[in-house]
Amino acid sequence: MADLQGKTIVVTGAGGGIGLAAVERFVASGANVVATDLAGTGVDTAGEMGDTVVSQVADVTSRADWESTRELAIGTFGRIDGLVNNAGIEGAITPLVEYPEEMLDRVLAINVKGVFLGMQIIAPLIIEGGGGAIVNVSSVAGLSGASNLSAYSASKHAVIGLTKSAALEFAPQAVRCNAICPSPIDTRMMRSLEDAMKSDDVDAATLQALIASNIPLGRYGAPSEVADLMTFLLSDDARFLSGAAIPIDGAMKAR
Ligand SMILES: NC(=O)c1ccc[n+]([C@@H]2O[C@H](COP(=O)([O-])OP(=O)(O)OC[C@H]3O[C@@H](n4cnc5c(N)ncnc54)[C@H](O)[C@@H]3O)[C@@H](O)[C@H]2O)c1
């Protein structure tokens, strides 16, 4: 199991399926965690995981909220070694020509600007501490197009561009930056996609089986499996790994 002993990691979207699994895994690996999410999510649950976790309600699109997260991390643990930009939304599941403009703006604000602001505000602290690692959550939809998910796919492609640029910029200061590209993972987000895609002929359960059958390993991933990859990338075991966009997808992108 990769070791995060003594490292302080900031995690966004920490009340969601993958985020909560990440907080659990980081704590089990010895990290201090600053867990943030919107109000009404499971972020309070993350905050109750023990003395090594603090939680905060914060919107990733808000510079003031990011500054407050930075202060909380430094005030509580004295340093920041890692950042996981995990918060994201799927947006509308609609043909491009009908896609609501305000939803396009929202998807780009959360999935792209949120990641940008996180790196802009947190990376200087990681540099000050002597280096560390950033993990940005993209998607298999960041590696190829996705019908009826144009804004989401565009946003996740952008996450990879941001990640590669940051990896180049931060390399001289020993900050590694990688993107991960999950296939369908068993969380609320997939329930929302299944709901939107089901029809009178195909119910949500049948649809789920169909989507799973398109993944060579034959199933959705578990949030804990994504958390394991994040842990490795944040750990010193990944010390020569930076600027990558890594599929975690049961071989979906091997085709
Ligand atoms: N579940 C999948 O199949 C899948 C596949 C590929 C990539 N992803 C990505 O993984 C990440 C986590 O998704 P998940 O599956 O755990 O979904 P989720 O909906 O369970 O979690 C997403 C979290 O992000 C939070 N969030 C949304 N807007 C926010 C904002 N403005 N500020 C702060 N937090 C905000 C939500 O409150 C939620 O807790 C997302 O970036 C998603 O795009 C998920």
pLDDT of residue 151: 98
Beta bridge partners of 8: 32
Distance 54 CA to ligand 1 centre (A): 19
Take residue 101 and report the two structure tokens written for it: 């403009």
Mark whether 220 is an active-site residue.
no
pLDDT of residue 243: 98
- Average pLDDT over all residues of the chain: 97
Instruction: State the burial class of residue 172 (Cβ atoms within 10 Å of its Cβ: 0-12, 13-18, 19+).
Output: exposed
Beta bridge partners of 221: 185
Domains and CATH numbers, the chain: 8-184+223-254 (3.40.50.720)
pLDDT of residue 177: 99
pLDDT of residue 1: 76
CB of 38 closer than 6 angstroms to any ligand 1 atom:
yes
pLDDT of residue 181: 98
Cβ–Cβ < 8 Å for 205, 190 = no
pLDDT of residue 51: 92
pLDDT of residue 240: 98
Q: Which atom of ligand 1 is nearest to the CA of 138?
A: 7
Residues in Cβ contact with 184 at an 8 Å cutoff, skipping those fewer than 6 apart: 190, 193, 211, 212, 215, 220, 221
CB of 60 closer than 6 angstroms to any ligand 1 atom:
yes
Closest Cα to atom 25 of ligand 1: 13
In this prediction, residues 217-230 reach a mean pLDDT of 98
Sheet holding 8-12, edge to edge: 53-57, 32-37, 8-12, 82-85, 132-137, 175-182, 245-248
Distance 88 CA to ligand 1 centre (A): 4
What is the SS3 assignment for 152? Answer: helix
Read off the pLDDT of residues 40-87 as tens digits, 9 standing for 90 and up.
998 988 888 899 999 999 999 999 999 999 999 999 999 999 999 999
Residues in Cβ contact with 5 at an 8 Å cutoff, skipping those fewer than 6 apart: 29, 30, 31
pLDDT of residue 114: 99
pLDDT of residue 2: 85
Catalytic residue among 26, 152, 170, 232: 152
Instruction: State the burial class of residue 231 (Cβ atoms within 10 Å of its Cβ: 0-12, 13-18, 19+).
Output: buried
